[in-house]
Every structure is written in structure tokens, then in C-alpha cells.
Chain A
């Protein structure tokens, strides 16, 4: 069963994907299916992407029959891909060279560009789940891409809110926040010519960090060569700081927000590309759960002060030599 179901109570879409296919057998119990030549990637590789073995969305998804107007559904037409950051099993964003992260950004760009050519694709979501706390079962460094045939609810909320600000002030809200944060310099944990990383004023998770390009760009495709280099440094700095904070591999969800594709609306002036990190921890050994309030009301209670977390992350010194 593979389809997307509409929830008329919240105006959101739910992807149903229940596969009965058996998991493939690995050569040995401890073998990593993402290492070169084991299972998913037949060849040796530097960076690679592949379509999920058990995708929630695929281009040749089965047709759906509309039963009635109440219980609406749509075809699970889209793309789910795994993005391999490196063939080195024990690496991770904070341990990868800047050169490797730059190449990874080029791969993200290539996938975004290629997949945006499908007119049915409306939103391309790049993300990484790091650590078992957020459900990552394989430790080999990788991220994922979901290409949706609709604009997901939270993205739509962002678009609506940013558009509202633009129509009132004729200015991009993130451009304004960036100038404000730079002027105040209270919550910036790292910056270079092209990017700033901050614990935002409106952080929902205790260790939430956002990365904003200083120039108004709407997708990862808009970045210049220098910005790609600066983006690589920023990603490395943020993830190194996370690992340094408690001297442990810090789990996180890393989400990229770019403009929708193939939608007849002019997002160019009000939408601003950004990255959000949501670490599921509230302390070294304590989990920040998505519990009733967070899940049921979409309201977060942040038990820490963003400025104080920013100070600690700023003080976690890291070197970005290579």
C-alpha cells in the first residue's frame, strides 16, 4: 500500500507506505549496506546518491482511486533518495574535510536541479537524521532527499508567514533578521563572508541552530562558488561545535528549506534559503521529547535561553584548517 492521504482536520497530507517486501540479506550481520560494494552501491564511490529501497514516494507510484470527496488521496508520486557524503564509514559532517563538504553541496545542487525538472515535483526537501536518538539506524554518513508532489504543511506555513511580512514591508523577513542579528551580535555562534549561524531568538529546541546565507538566495542552486565554500565552512563549524559541546557525537535533525519548484507563485522576493538543526537533547544525557504539547499543538516549550546556548556554542572553539 502506497498512497498519500488527506487529513481534512488539519489540511495536511499523510504519506502511507507499508511495504511487505523482505529486507535484503546482508553478507554478514555487521556489514554496512552503505559501504562500497556491499549492497546499495555496487561500485567504489567518493559521493553517491541512490533511490530508497523502500521509498515513501516514487515517480512510478501506483495509481490511486478516489473513493469519495471526504477521504481524499493522491498518488505517492515523488522521489526519495539517500545521499552518501563519503565512502568513509566512520566519518561525519564535522570530521569531513571542507573539500568533501563542498563536493557534498555540489551533489545536493545536482539532485535539486535534476529533480526540479519534473513538473509534478513541488517541493524538494534535503535533510539528515544523525544519531539513534532521531532514528538513524545506519551510522555511515548520509543524508536524504524527499521530493514531494505538494508543498508540505510546515513549509506552507513558512511561505505564508514570510509572504505576509513581505507584502507588509516589501522586505524579506530573513534579510531583516540577519541584519538585526549581526547588529546585535548576541546569538551568532559562527559567521563568515557568506553565512551566519545563530541560535535564533525563536528557537524551539534547546540547541537549535539556524544557518542563513547573508545574501538573499532562495534555493541551494542560487549560491555562488564562494558562497558554496562559505556554506561548507559553516556546516562544518556548526557540527564541530555540537560535537565539542558534550564531547560526544551530537545527534541532530538537519533540515534545508528552499523555495518550492514548479508552483505558479513568485517566491523569489520573500523566501530566503535556510538550514535548521534540531538536536533532540536538552542536556548531555537528557532527551528533549516531542511530547503532547509539541506534537498536539505544534507549540514548543524551550527550557533554555537562546542567548545562553549561543554563548556556549560560540565558546566551543573549533578549527577549520582544511
Chain B
């Protein structure tokens, strides 16, 4: 691939081929200069739709018509109170003339993407009036000495008509740039959130652990970790003390989970501090400030103002280190860290570092404190997290409700599942994708059996993490069967073939599994559809099928069944060498 080095400010035309662009910023003044938003280049674009990506876990990644107005979704609370969750550039984001895309963008036959975000926030803006895309880097006030030169974070340009290939190539280039090496067990887990929300209590936790253990032992369902979610803690920021629903504290939680043979997991929002927490009362100097020097509200939730920790402050980092060291000492080995964006909000910090640098410093402290334990990011800026987490939520919160709107980022099974598909290429390249929990119960839910199956099968076909979130007392045979069938679909080589379709019906080809390739058609629409299988999906799997009917909000699988051998795997008694004996299915 050709590399171009460009000095910012020089005339520059985007080459019409795959290339890597490196921009250099030089301070030509005789005084120290501080840099904020820099436009790298602007190109005219004449298309009807664009593939956009939001910077954070919960935000949309999809192909949208250029007429879309995202700003109207953020005009009123609660979304208005959450705008910093969806962008560190609220002015640009909420201008109805703009469509903003963080990290990467695709239109026509062109894909552009930044290979990293360790210092600056990097994004693209489509302007509806100018019909152009501008490429921006925000350095948030970084200072350069006279004559000092820095290289900005590189942009890759890829050409081609099959978006999935460009996304996979981009994903691999980012992974390479970040030297990722992920080798962690990712299924199956259980999480308390989508059944109990903040109402989880100790007895319910223990009850579920009991049932999960029974299912593992009697039905062979490989549950491996149990993660307590929001609802155990005294306050947002006071994580080591439990509330009255957990009288035996964190030790009791760990003990009851580990005694049943599970990995103990815990949820927390480590960069968030509520206005009623002890940290807010004692250490306001630990928080990110606004331009007036007052603590800056990051968002509102739990009916409270929530502030972001200043992760450039050594005292904060020491507190964070002690917190995670203690949680690990208590016995947790799986950490779901949520609302991470609040560590990366723009604002005043103790040290002159960018919000992105501060955020990464915070994540690194956590990573070092927990060692090889599993770290699952959520509500997190995506690109700055690459290489620091083992798993990452890549969509909005799921929900026991299925809502048709696919722009609003609030809990909704459909919008969550859409991102599972569109961000599939991040899985195993950047981290293990967390598609959010599977809700498999038949009670306390507005999800039909076909919706539950659809969500579960798609997550499995894309080989994502599998985490169930149900009152296990409410899960019937149907639910267990969906889970068992899903597990058989995992660990192939998936590719999604029609990411830019207007109707949300996706064709997923999976190959590389010993028992054979398959094509999955996932229909997220509320109508029965007949789908013509794209040639590229047939090529990927070798399956020749032409058109497939898929019921509304359901999934169909077309398989190529490969002949099976029986196998016995044994270790030799004398030297422990592995021996495999194979024979025909019918005879021995």
C-alpha cells in the first residue's frame, strides 16, 4: 500500500486508490502554540447514503440516508443529558447540517478510517449543504514548541464495492497497529441486569447461581462466569461497600459464585462519580471541570448528576489502582466496566493531556491492577480502548422490548442487534465483541420466541461472547434449546454480505467449522421477506441456494452438512502424548 506524508496546510488531493495518509503538524510560529480542532482535508461527495459509526459502544453503526437528522434525538432529556456519551464534540454533533462519523466512514466505493486514537479524537463530518466530507483531528489544546513537528494519527483509504472486505481489512490493520493478542474464554456467562436491573438482591443472586450450577451439571450447558451488575453498590463511586440488599458484602457475592464453580464477575462504572458519593463529597478536585472550574456533569442517570474522574490526576489513578486491586483480592476475576466515556469527556484536567490520553491512562491502570482477569468495556470510546480490554460492548443496551426505531440509542433489542451485525468485523481483531446479553426467558419479556432466537443465533454466528440475563427460574426448554443450538453455531469464520441494505435483513456466511458451512439470513424487519442470496455469500460458503423466505423478525439457516466421524481423544499413560482415534459414525 502506498504511503503519503502530508504537511498540514499544504494542498492535498485524495489519491483514488488504497493508501495510508500521514499528516504532519509543524508549529511555524516563534511562540508556543496550542492546537484544537484541525481539518485534515475536505472532499466533495455525491451520494444518497453513508455508512456512519458513532465513537462509543452504544452508538449506531449503520448505513443512513444523508437526510438523517440525528440532532432531533438529543433535543430533550433523557437523551439530552446523555449527549457527552455520544460525542466529545457536542457542537458539531448536534448541528442538523452535519452527519458525524467517528473513526471511520464509508460512501460509494470509498472507505476511510483512522488506525488509532491514542491522543486525538478523530472523525469525519458530512455536511449536507456543502455535500462534502471533512476529516478532522481534535487535539484538545495540545501545545507545540516553536518548530516542533508531530505526526498525527494515520488515516487509511480503501477502495472497493464490498464494504465487508474493506471493514475486515481496516479491522486487521488497526489490530496490527495496536499489537492485539486476545486469548480469553468468552462463553458462557450470566449477568443480573436485564431481569433484575437495579433490584437484584443477594437471595436472587444465590438462587440463580444454584440453577446455573444445576444446568451446567445436569444439562451440560457450559456456564463459566456469573457477573453481578448494577444494584449491589452503595453508590456510583462507592464500589467496595454494598447496599442493604447485600448484607454479606462483596465477599458474600464472591463466595456464593465461586463455591458453585463459576468465575466471579462484577459490574462497575469506574470513571463515574455520583453527586451523593463519598468521592464527590470529599474530592471534588478529582473530577473533570468545566471552563469555570466547577465539576462538569458528564451525564444524568440513577436520578443523579454524574461526574467524570480526572484520569490525569495521580491521586485518582492511585485510588483506581487500589479499587481494582482490592476487587481482585476479594476474588473477582471478570470485570464489566461501564459508562467509560465519562473518563473521556472534554473539559479541564489537572495535567495538560487530551481526554483521550487521560482515558487510556485510566484504562491502563485498571488493566495493570487486574492482570490477566477478563476486562469487558462498555459505554466506551471504541478506538482508544483497542488493546486494553478483552471484550467490548459494541451496541446499545438490549431490552425485553423490540422497538422499530433504529436511530435512537436507548435500550432496544432491535437496535442492539443491528450493531452486532454492522460491527461484526471488530470481533477477534480488536477484542471479543459483546453483543449484549441474551434474554431467553419466556416470561417477563415482550420478546417473542422468534426474536429471542434471532438475537441469539446472530450473536453466535458472529462468534461473539454469549452472556445470558434471565431469572433462570423463568427459562423453559425453549430458552435452553435456543442457547444449546446457538453454541453449535459459534467459532466459524463469519462474514456479513449486505451491510448497506435498506431493509434490515442480513445475510451472514459462516465457514471453517468442522461440521460444515452455513448461511444465516437474519430478518430484523416486521415483514416476511424473500431474499436472494448474494453471489459473494455463495462463494464464501459453497452453498448454492438461491432465494430464501424469512419470516418477520426471525432467522433461517441454510446448511451444508459435512459427514461426521466419531473421535476418541486420549492421552497415553506412559508419556501423556495425545492420541486421537477416528471411525465412521455407524461402525466401530
Contact = CB atoms under 8 A, between A and B. Distances in A.
B584 interface: yes
Nearest to A106: B565
Contacts of B1: 167
Nearest to B1: A167
B18 to A, nearest CB: 6
Interface string B550-567: 000000000011111101
A53 interface: yes
A170 interface: yes
Nearest to A47: B582
A264 B539 contact: no
B164 to A, nearest CB: 10
B514 A268 contact: no
A170 B541 CA distance: 20
Contact of B517 (A41, A110, A224): A224
Interface stretch (A195-203, A213-221, A233-241): A213-221
B473 interface: no
Nearest to A229: B563
Contact of A110 (B511, B514, B584): B514
B292 interface: no
Contacts of B429: 264
Given A228-B562, A268-B495, A49 B580 contact: yes
B563 A225 contact: yes
Given A107-B565, A227-B542, A265-B176, A119 B517 contact: no
Given A50-B577, A50-B579, A222 B517 contact: yes
B163 to A, nearest CB: 13
B565 A103 contact: yes
Interface in A154-168: 167
B175 to A, nearest CB: 4
Contact of B539 (A45, A215, A228, A265): A215
Contact of B562 (A48, A119, A225): A225
A317 interface: no
B169 interface: yes
A43 interface: yes
B67 interface: no
A175 B180 CA distance: 31
Contacts of B493: 221-222, 268
Contacts of A216: 539
A259 to B, nearest CB: 9
Interface of B: 1, 18, 160, 165, 168-169, 171-172, 175-176, 180-183, 429, 493, 495, 511-514, 516-517, 539, 541-543, 560-565, 567, 572, 575, 577-584
A228 B563 contact: yes
A264 B176 contact: yes
A269 B511 CA distance: 14
A45 B581 CA distance: 6
A3 interface: no
A110 B565 contact: yes
Contacts of A111: 580
Nearest to B184: A119
A167 B18 contact: yes
Interface string A94-128: 00000000110011011101000001000000000
Among B18, B511, B561, B564: residue with most chain A CB under 10 A = B511
Contacts of B182: 119
A113 B176 CA distance: 24
The 9 closest A-B pairs by CB, nearest first: A119-B183, A224-B542, A264-B175, A51-B577, A47-B582, A221-B512, A266-B172, A50-B579, A224-B560
A79 B176 CA distance: 25
Interface of A: 41-43, 45-51, 53, 81, 102-103, 106-107, 109-111, 113, 119, 167, 170, 215-217, 219, 221-228, 264-266, 268-269
B543 A224 contact: yes
B169 A266 contact: yes
Nearest to B160: A170
Among B171, B182, B512, B564: residue with most chain A CB under 10 A = B512
Contact of A223 (B169, B542, B565): B542
Contacts of B562: 106, 109, 223-225, 228
A215 B580 contact: no
A48 B582 contact: yes
A107 B582 contact: yes
A48 B180 contact: no
Given A167-B18, A266-B168, A269-B165, A106 B578 contact: no
B114 to A, nearest CB: 17
B563 to A, nearest CB: 6
5 contacts: A45-B583, A46-B582, A110-B580, A113-B513, A266-B171
A46 B583 contact: yes
Nearest to B579: A50
A217 B543 CA distance: 13
Among A51, A102, A111: residue with most chain B CB under 10 A = A51
A103 B581 CA distance: 12
A275 B437 CA distance: 43
Nearest to A21: B575
A222 B183 CA distance: 23
A46 B584 contact: yes
A43 B561 CA distance: 30
B159 to A, nearest CB: 8
A222 B512 contact: yes
Contacts of B183: 119
A217 B509 CA distance: 13
Contacts of B541: 224
Contacts of A225: 516, 560-563
A48 B579 contact: yes
Given A46-B583, A49-B579, 5 more contacts: A48-B580, A106-B564, A107-B580, A170-B160, A226-B542
A23 B32 CA distance: 74
Contacts of A269: 165
Contacts of B180: 264
B514 A217 contact: no
Nearest to B174: A264
B563 A53 contact: no
A158 B565 CA distance: 33
Nearest to A55: B577
Contacts of B582: 45-49, 103, 106-107, 110
Given A53-B577, A264-B176, A219 B516 contact: no
B314 to A, nearest CB: 34
Nearest to A175: B539
A221 B577 contact: no
Nearest to B571: A51
Contacts of B514: 106, 109-110, 113, 221
